[in-house]
């Protein structure tokens, strides 16, 4: 099953399971979704629960938060997270803080989901990995799946969660195939990392798009005699730092791969946590492989240079191994 | 079309000038001095207005004594707007508003004790000391905040109305905001969705003619707020926000439209705040004379005279109400003073409903 279909299945199962769940966003209903993640849902659940919105991100994000205040469980799709930037006031000032500033009275069970990160030559304004923005704020949870099974299990947990969840998919990965449990009760808890490959020499922490890249790098490195452990935190906030630290204590070397810009990014945060918790175990400085610190260029060759690839991850692993 | 604004008018006269009462006839069958409301309702409204006035005066005093911190935006002068409009609601209807919300919170039924304790940052406050003056909440009375980004509550209220309809109730959402919020995209995005999807939301613009220190005509190219509803084919009315009964009756019409037809309404209430934008604002951008001119039409004095002329209440009744309110406000201040601070452990509670690790 593709990532796209796994997400579609999760939405379908959760819409069927709970009448307070509804889905809204641009082109989610009649158009069947800009990326077809919501295909067939209008037909199955009707226009009351699968709602096409005007292009009005601040408005419908806020409408979703308001609906969540009084008992609904909205799933708000951003056609891409680039457009969520218009809605940040409602996500940050309303959704993230409502429970706290109301002294625990108003929980906000809402999911904001859509593709994030780079796509295929869509240039600067459509190729942004902004998970560190949302992960910065207490009150929000941030989820980034890297396999179809994780996508299904995590999205179902996100919809059932009583807190606002930022659920970031990756456009380049919608066609990715993998085994997906058909079981309607299959969920994956938020805040639990997954070891995608076991190894003993170097830990690679990767998320979303960089997970398959890191796995390819690990395969290649195995041939070169370096055994890599690939850890996918899956949830950026809350972050399962314990699983990462345990791995680092075993391998003593760590590379963090991410699509986003390096400055003030999630890799910087993980690096700081490792320094605080496992400094004495490190045999080399923590190394980051991030997206280039530039707006995303259009030209194909420049775009490729801006996104972490297998070669850069291999080079970083060899670097921390002093090879 | 049926939802066409019925009482719109062009009023391009000086925006920050003195409020002129509406010139066209009200839809209501009541004549200006003919009271159709029962005595209990009228007295309750008068009492609420006076309570808000005295409560806010106490806040100013407590603020100057350092008992209230942060920002504190007083409602003095605008009492008729919230009391009149909330009196048209049922208890199960929702209210959302801005950071100038002590009045709405009192009118919706949060106790003076719980509000004052919140302003004092105490554990007994309606938001348990975590919200403060700008973030009052009380789920039990359907008071959904206190929101402090200008216009931020407008999409939220639209969503609450959306939920009321989705859940197949006939509850309505009432949303207040100042005229400065009308320049935000959130206002226009919300009104568009509310009319498009026929949501039972009532938008009340409290036009006090100043966005902090910037007067209406310096901030709005076309300052007739009620007319802006035309862009969305939404019903609207201009209301004299200094007249509590006008507010009540206009809101009753809007509530009827929301409950029976599931349609939104925009009400523009012309009003005036006597105090600065917040306690730290000396108000140098307007003259004493301008403020005094508005005070001549003070909503509480006007309503008191109206109630006396129609023999609903006497001077003795008013004195008695004053006395009770004084006690209520004093009690609130004492309660707030004596209440405990939040437990230090409260710093990390309520961040997540489902905390992980």
Instruction: Report the greatest alpha carbon distance in chain B.
Output: 66
DSSP annotation string for A101-159? HTTT------EEEEEEB--SS--GGG-B--HHHHHTSTT-EEE---SHHHHHHHHHHHH
Q: Say if B244 falls within a structural domain.
A: yes
d(CA B101, CA B107): 10
Nearest to A66 among B149, B156, B167 (CB): B156
B286 at interface of A, judged by CB pairs closer than 8 A: no
In sequence order, which ranges of chain B are alpha helices (DSSP H)?
39-64, 79-86, 102-108, 112-119, 153-166, 185-196, 216-219, 244-261, 288-295, 299-309, 315-338
Residue A227 has pLDDT above 70, yes or no: yes
d(CA B206, CA B101): 12
The predicted structure's pLDDT at residue B74? 95
The predicted structure's pLDDT at residue B19? 45
Architecture of domain A194-320: 3-Layer(aba) Sandwich (3.40)
Phi, psi of B94 (to 5 degrees): -105, 150
d(CA A145, CA A206): 11
d(CA B12, CA A296): 49
The predicted structure's pLDDT at residue B356? 75
Class of domain A3-173: alpha beta
d(CA B148, CA B249): 28
**Averaged pLDDT, A58-70:** 98
The predicted structure's pLDDT at residue B24? 40
Which pairs from B55-60 meet CB under 8 Å and 24+ separation? B55/B102, B55/B106, B55/B112, B55/B115, B55/B116, B55/B329, B55/B332, B56/B102, B56/B103, B56/B275, B58/B116, B58/B329, B58/B330, B58/B332, B58/B333, B59/B102, B59/B116, B59/B119, B60/B275, B60/B279
Confidence of residue B34 (pLDDT cuts 50, 70, 90): confident
Angle at B241 between CA B235 and CA B243, to 5 degrees: 115
d(CA B266, CA B191): 9
- Which helix (H) or strand (E) segment holds residue A247: the answer is helix A241-251
Cross-strand bridge partners of residue A73: A21
Assess contact for B176 and B89: CB atoms under 8 A.
no
Assess contact for A199 and A229: CB atoms under 8 A.
yes
Report if pTM > 0.90. yes
How many residues in chain A? 323
Residue B219 has pLDDT above 60, yes or no: yes
**Averaged pLDDT, A112-129:** 96
3-state secondary structure of A262: coil
Considering only residues 123 to 152 of chain A, which have any Cβ-Cβ distance to chain B shorter than 8 Å? Answer: 138-139, 141
Tokens of A55: 């292009």
Residue B25 has pLDDT above 50, yes or no: no
Cα dihedral A257, A263, A266, A271, rounded to 10, equals 70
A308 at interface of B, judged by CB pairs closer than 8 A: no
- Which helix (H) or strand (E) segment holds residue B215: the answer is strand B214-215
B127 at interface of A, judged by CB pairs closer than 8 A: yes
Read off the pLDDT of residues B70-93 as tens digits, 9 standing for 90 and up: 999 999 999 999 999 999 999 999
Q: Say if B182 falls within a structural domain.
A: yes
Q: Say if B332 falls within a structural domain.
A: no
**Would you list the domain boundaries of chain A?**
3-173, 194-320
How many residues in chain B? 357
Q: What is the least distance, in Å, from the CA of A272 to any CA of chain B? A: 19
CB contact under 8 A, A89 and B135: no
Q: Say if B52 falls within a structural domain.
A: no
Catalytic residue among A14, A57, A169, A258: A57
Contacts of B339 in chain A (CB under 8 A): none
A68 at interface of B, judged by CB pairs closer than 8 A: yes
Assess contact for A107 and B131: CB atoms under 8 A.
no
Q: What is the least distance, in Å, from the CA of B351 to any CA of chain A? A: 5
Q: Say if B82 falls within a structural domain.
A: yes
Q: Say if B281 falls within a structural domain.
A: yes
DSSP state of A38: T
d(CA B4, CA B37): 27
Read off the pLDDT of residues B227-281 as tens digits, 9 standing for 90 and up: 999 999 999 999 999 999 999 999 999 999 999 999 999 999 999 999 999 988 9
Chain B CA closest to residue A90: B152
Q: Say if B337 falls within a structural domain.
A: no
Domain residues for the domain of B159 are 70-109+133-312
Let me know if the fold of A3-173 is the same as that of A194-320.
yes
Q: Say if B228 falls within a structural domain.
A: yes
CB contact under 8 A, A63 and B131: no
3-state secondary structure of B288: helix
Cross-strand bridge partners of residue B239: B269
Contacts of B353 in chain A (CB under 8 A): 99, 107, 109, 162-163
Read off the pLDDT of residues A141-167 as tens digits, 9 standing for 90 and up: 999 999 999 999 999 999 999 999 999
A65 at interface of B, judged by CB pairs closer than 8 A: yes
Assess contact for B126 and B102: CB atoms under 8 A.
no
Size of interface A-B (CB pairs under 8 A): 157
Tokens of A148: 């179809």
Read off the pLDDT of residues B298-355 as tens digits, 9 standing for 90 and up: 999 999 999 999 999 999 999 999 999 999 999 999 999 999 999 999 999 999 999 8
Residues contacting A12, CB < 8 A, separation 6+: A40, A41, A44
Confidence of residue B99 (pLDDT cuts 50, 70, 90): very high
Residue A126 falls in the annotated catalytic set: yes
Q: What is the mean pLDDT of chain B?
A: 92
Number of domains in chain B: 1
Chain B CA closest to residue A108: B353
Confidence of residue B21 (pLDDT cuts 50, 70, 90): very low
Assess contact for B206 and B228: CB atoms under 8 A.
no
Cis? peptide before A238, omega within 30° of 0: yes
Contacts of A90 in chain B (CB under 8 A): 152, 155-156
d(CA A248, CA B308): 80
d(CA B274, CA B78): 8
Phi-psi category of residue B317: left, alpha or beta, with phi > 0 → left and psi -120 to 50 → alpha? alpha
Which pairs from B290-297 meet CB under 8 Å and 24+ separation? B290/B16, B290/B18, B293/B18, B294/B18, B294/B19, B294/B77, B294/B242, B295/B77, B297/B19, B297/B242
Residue A188 has pLDDT above 70, yes or no: yes
Reference A110, options A162, A38, A53, A41; nearest CA is: A162
d(CA B319, CA B80): 20
The two beta strands, B210-211 and B214-215, are: antiparallel
Q: What is the mean pLDDT of chain A?
A: 98
**Averaged pLDDT, A113-120:** 96
**Averaged pLDDT, A304-309:** 97
User: Which of A21, A66, A90, A241 to mutate to test binding with chain B, by most B CBs within 10 Å of its CB?
Assistant: A66
B241 at interface of A, judged by CB pairs closer than 8 A: no
- CATH at residue B81: 3.40.50.970
Q: How many other CB atoms are found less than 10 A from the CB of residue B282?
A: 7
Residue B9 has pLDDT above 80, yes or no: no
d(CA B12, CA B274): 23
Residue A57 falls in the annotated catalytic set: yes
Assess contact for A83 and A60: CB atoms under 8 A.
no
3-state helix, strand, coil in chain A (%, to 5): 40, 15, 40
CB contact under 8 A, B185 and A101: no
CB contact under 8 A, B155 and A63: yes
């Amino acid at each position: 099953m593709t990532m796209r279909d796994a997400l579609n299945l999760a939405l379908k199962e959760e819409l069927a399971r709970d009448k307070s769940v509804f889905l809204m966003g641009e082109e989610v209903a009649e158009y069947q979704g800009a990326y077809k993640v919501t295909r067939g849902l209008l037909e199955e659940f009707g226009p009351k629960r699968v709602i096409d919105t005007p292009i009005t991100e601040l408005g419908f994000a806020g409408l979703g938060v308001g609906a969540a205040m009084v008992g609904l469980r909205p799933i708000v799709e951003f056609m891409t997270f680039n457009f969520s930037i218009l809605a940040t006031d409602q996500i940050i000032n309303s959704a993230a803080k409502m429970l706290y500033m109301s002294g625990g009275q108003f929980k906000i069970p809402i999911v904001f989901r859509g593709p994030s990160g780079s796509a295929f030559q869509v240039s600067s304004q459509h190729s942004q990995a902004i998970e560190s923005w949302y992960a910065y704020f207490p009150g929000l949870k941030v989820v980034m799946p890297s396999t179809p099974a994780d996508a299904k299990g995590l999205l179902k947990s996100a919809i059932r969660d009583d807190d606002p969840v930022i659920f970031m998919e990756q456009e380049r990965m919608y066609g990715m195939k993998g085994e997906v449990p058909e079981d309607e009760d299959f969920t994956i808890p938020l805040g639990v990392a997954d070891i995608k490959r076991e190894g003993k020499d170097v830990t690679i922490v990767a998320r979303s798009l960089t997970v398959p890249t890191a796995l390819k790098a690990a395969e290649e490195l195995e041939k070169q005699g370096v055994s890599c452990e690939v850890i996918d935190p899956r949830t950026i906030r809350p972050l399962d730092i314990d699983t990462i630290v345990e791995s680092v204590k075993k391998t003593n070397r760590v590379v963090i791969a991410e699509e986003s810009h390096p400055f003030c990014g999630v890799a910087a945060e993980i690096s700081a946590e490792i320094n605080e918790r496992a400094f004495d175990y490190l045999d080399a400085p923590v190394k980051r492989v991030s997206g280039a610190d530039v707006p995303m260029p259009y030209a194909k060759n420049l775009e490729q240079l801006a996104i972490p690839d297998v070669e850069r991850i291999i080079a970083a692993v060899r670097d921390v191994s002093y090879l | 079309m049926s939802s066409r604004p019925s009482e719109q008018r062009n009023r391009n006269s000086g925006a920050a000038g003195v409020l002129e009462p509406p010139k066209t006839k009200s839809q209501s069958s009541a004549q200006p001095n003919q009271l159709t409301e029962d005595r209990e309702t009228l007295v309750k409204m008068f009492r609420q207005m006076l309570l808000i006035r005295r409560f806010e005066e106490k806040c100013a005093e407590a603020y100057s004594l350092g008992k209230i911190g942060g920002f504190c935006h007083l409602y003095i002068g605008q009492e008729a707007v919230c009391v009149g409009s909330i009196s048209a609601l049922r208890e199960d209807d929702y209210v959302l508003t801005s950071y100038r919300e002590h009045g709405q919170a009192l009118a919706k039924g949060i106790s003076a004790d719980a509000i004052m304790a919140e302003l004092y940052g105490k554990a007994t406050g309606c938001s348990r000391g975590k919200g403060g003056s700008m973030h009052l909440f009380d789920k039990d009375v359907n008071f959904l905040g206190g929101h402090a980004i200008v216009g931020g509550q407008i999409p939220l209220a639209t969503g609450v109305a959306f939920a009321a309809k989705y859940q197949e109730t006939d509850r309505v959402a009432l949303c207040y905001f100042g005229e400065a919020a009308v320049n935000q995209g959130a206002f226009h995005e919300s009104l568009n969705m509310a009319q498009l999807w026929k949501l039972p939301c009532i938008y009340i613009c409290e036009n006090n003619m100043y966005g902090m220190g910037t007067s209406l005509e310096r901030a709005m190219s076309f300052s007739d707020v009620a007319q802006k509803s035309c862009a969305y084919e939404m019903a609207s009315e201009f209301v004299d926000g200094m007249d509590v009964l006008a507010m009540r009756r206009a809101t009753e019409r809007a509530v009827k439209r929301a409950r029976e037809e599931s349609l939104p309404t925009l009400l523009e209430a012309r009003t005036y705040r006597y105090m600065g934008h917040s306690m730290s604002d000396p108000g140098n951008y307007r003259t004493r004379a301008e403020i005094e001119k508005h005070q001549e039409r003070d909503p509480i004095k006007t309503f008191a005279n109206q109630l006396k002329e129609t023999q609903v209440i006497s001077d003795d009744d008013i004195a008695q109400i004053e006395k009770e309110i004084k006690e209520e406000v004093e009690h609130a201040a004492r309660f707030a003073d004596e209440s405990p601070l939040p437990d230090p452990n409260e710093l990390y509670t309520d961040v997540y409903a489902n905390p992980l690790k």
